[in-house]
Structure 1
Amino acid sequence: MRNTLFGAICLSLAASIWGGMYVVSKYVLDFIPPVTLVWLRYVIAFALLYAILKIAQRKTKTAAKLEKKDWLLLSWIGFIGYFVSISFQFMGTKLSDAHTGALITSATPAFIVFFGRFVLKEALTVRKIVSLAIATTGVLIVVGWSPNLGNYFWGSVILVGAAITWALLSVYVKVASYKHSSLTITTYAILFGLLFTTPFMFWELAAYDIQAVNSLTVLGVLYIGIVSTAGAFFLWNKGLELMDAGIGSLFFFFQPLVGSFLGWLLLKEHLDLNFYIGGTLILLGVLIVTVHKKKS
């Protein structure tokens, strides 16, 4: 019960942090191009997590023993999740819009449930399916259906790819957690994400100029690197370690919910009745599976 509750808290915090990252990244991207920003967030996150990992290993007098197959799994997580999925999110949004991106990537939990069934052999229960359906309906109500969805064909295809690849990351993080700690997985997967991103960062810098940055831009980059990357990635991976991937996937829905709320709070965006109805359904869907899990 304690593990389930702690896992739920970790996943909720991670998704909430990502929901709020939109406000910060919207400002920072006016000064720094997207791939370069991804590279910077990974450099900062890896440096912080690696230092914490080494301090933890020194205190416990233990070190993670990584074999060749472990490195291959971590490189796969870094490639499919922290490189391909994040890149697809940027590309898909650029070819469509943020609204379409939020709508399509809300399919991520459904893909996690699907891959969890076939990769992790997790049970596909009626309760899990009903919870997913209720929470997904809530997201559709919060985000709303975009009439332009059909006009963004390639952007929509790429965003579906982003949802699929993030689902794969989540499932294989669960696989890796059977043998290694969340801190080890997050640290080295981000390192591989950084390595895969580096060539594209150099290409981008050759084509685009970075605008003169100010102190707010620097603080924004540090926030994205420390809180939204090192912190949120670790919390997401830790939560998946403690819960079934299919159940944990539902907490992904807190991302658009918190993003909408912070858009209202900080950017003066309008919240209508749909937000409250959809938000209630999202919370209901999450509660159905977590309360059931506690009682089992």
Structure 2
Amino acid sequence: MNKKVLGGFYMALAASIWGGMYVVSKLILTVLQPLLLVWLRYVVALIVLALWMVITRQSWRIHRKDMPAILAIGMIGYTLSIGAQFYGTKLSTAQMGAMITSATPAFMVVFGRIFLGERVTLRRAVSAVLATIGVLMVVGIGGFNRSYQLGGFILVIAALTWALMSVFVKRVPHSYSQVAVTMYAILTATLAITPFVYAPLMRLSPGVFFHPVIFGGVLYLGVVSTAGAFFLWNKGLQWLDAGTGGLYFFFQPLIGTWLGWLILGERVGFLFWIGAFFILLGVSLVIKE
């Protein structure tokens, strides 16, 4: 299969998984603090990735000169962006979280041009403008009350930092195992978060983790949406440029919004859907290209 086609499939699958992540995290965040949930998710993912490395006998070696890019992936993407996603989702809704972060592809076009020298066509420029208008509508006047607006702005930060992280993924040589790259980046984020979650972890009753929703949710977030989806996203991005590859992110709001309505019974205003239309229209322009 053509690598660009396969790369697109990997990234679309990863984005679809993340769409479901917002619904799962919304349920668990009623019990666990956002940063603690991120930490638990990463611990589970590290165990899965390390076992996979051992079973498949992949190389653990990373050259020193390439470590800064991997550290940046861990700090900017897996610490700042994912942390902002969880805090923003807690303060808003699963649908709002999925929709706002779907503007990531437009930001990836901009960062791809600035840092990687990728060509910005007219379609890509129009895409970025439309997606930005859509985000502003969803955050500011998307039919949500004021208590959700702070969450919306935090989610915009999540979208920006994830787009910036994807630039650093492109700087990592293709010769490395993407499982190893993903594992080291998650390890960086886990170490960075650990000092901030020790106290809330100690205050938590051990019985909480045996609740089916909490146990199953953390397992899903760690194994599927972290170990699996992070690997798929990084692998797909190696075969596509940042501006084009990021457009498969549009599967996230579609899945997230549908599941938010189906499972959580969330309702949104008319202007939310106008904003969503602008975001998806902007993304579809570049996909057509």
- Do 2:39 and 2:194's aligned partners in 1 also have CA atoms closer than 8 Å? yes
For residue 149 of structure 1, report the CA deviation from its aligned partner.
Answer: 7.9
Report the counterpart of residue 229 of structure 1 in structure 2: 226
For residue 93 of structure 1, report the CA deviation from its aligned partner.
Answer: 4.4
Distance verdict in 2 for CA 1:20–1:208, change over 3 Å:
same
- Do 1:32 and 1:210's aligned partners in 2 also have CA atoms closer than 8 Å? no
Report the counterpart of residue 48 of structure 1 in structure 2: 48
Please list the CA deviations of residues 115-142 of structure 1 after superposition, one character each: whole Å capped at 9, or x if unmatched. 1111111111123334555667777899
Shifted more, 18-27 versus 218-227: the winner is 18-27
Please list the CA deviations of residues 43-94 of structure 1 after superposition, one character each: whole Å capped at 9, or x if unmatched. 1111111221233335xxxx25312222222122101111111222233445
- Do 1:109 and 1:250's aligned partners in 2 also have CA atoms closer than 8 Å? yes
Report the counterpart of residue 125 of structure 1 in structure 2: 121
1:249 corresponds, among 246, 251, 258, to 246
For residue 226 of structure 1, report the CA deviation from its aligned partner.
Answer: 0.6
Map 1:164-203 → 2, pairs under 5 A: 164-203=160-199
Distance verdict in 2 for CA 1:155–1:279, change over 3 Å:
closer
Distance verdict in 2 for CA 1:136–1:235, change over 3 Å:
farther
- Do 1:19 and 1:259's aligned partners in 2 also have CA atoms closer than 8 Å? yes
Shifted more, 120-129 versus 242-251: the winner is 120-129
- Do 2:131 and 2:282's aligned partners in 1 also have CA atoms closer than 8 Å? yes
- Counterpart CA distance in 1 for 2:206 and 2:218 is 13
Report the counterpart of residue 215 of structure 1 in structure 2: 212
SS at match of 1:107: helix
Report the counterpart of residue 76 of structure 1 in structure 2: 72
- Do 2:39 and 2:190's aligned partners in 1 also have CA atoms closer than 8 Å? yes
Distance verdict in 2 for CA 1:272–1:162, change over 3 Å:
closer
For normalisation by structure 1, the TM-score amounts to 0.80
- Counterpart CA distance in 1 for 2:77 and 2:204 is 25
- Counterpart CA distance in 2 for 1:106 and 1:33 is 24
Report the counterpart of residue 7 of structure 1 in structure 2: 7
The share of aligned pairs that are identical, in percent, is: 50
- Do 1:102 and 1:143's aligned partners in 2 also have CA atoms closer than 8 Å? no
- Counterpart CA distance in 2 for 1:161 and 1:280 is 21
For normalisation by structure 2, the TM-score amounts to 0.82
Please list the CA deviations of residues 198-252 of structure 1 after superposition, one character each: whole Å capped at 9, or x if unmatched. 1111133356667634133212211111111111111111111111110111122
Shifted more, 176-185 versus 79-88: the winner is 176-185
- Do 2:103 and 2:131's aligned partners in 1 also have CA atoms closer than 8 Å? no
Distance verdict in 2 for CA 1:156–1:210, change over 3 Å:
farther
Which consecutive residues of structure 1, in runs of 5 or more, have no partner in the other structure?
none
Matching residue's letter, 1:223: Y
- Counterpart CA distance in 1 for 2:104 and 2:256 is 16
Distance verdict in 2 for CA 1:74–1:44, change over 3 Å:
same
- Do 1:32 and 1:211's aligned partners in 2 also have CA atoms closer than 8 Å? no
Matching residue's letter, 1:267: L
- Counterpart CA distance in 1 for 2:91 and 2:288 is 40
- Do 2:95 and 2:257's aligned partners in 1 also have CA atoms closer than 8 Å? no
Matching residue's letter, 2:20: G
Report the counterpart of residue 263 of structure 1 in structure 2: 260
Matching residue's letter, 2:240: M
Which consecutive residues of structure 2, in runs of 5 or more, have no partner in the other structure?
none
- Do 1:139 and 1:278's aligned partners in 2 also have CA atoms closer than 8 Å? yes
- Do 1:42 and 1:225's aligned partners in 2 also have CA atoms closer than 8 Å? yes
SS at match of 2:142: coil
CA RMSD of aligned residues (A): 3.5
Aligned residues: 288
Please list the CA deviations of residues 253-273 of structure 1 after superposition, one character each: whole Å capped at 9, or x if unmatched. 221111111223333446899
1:116 corresponds, among 112, 115, 118, to 112
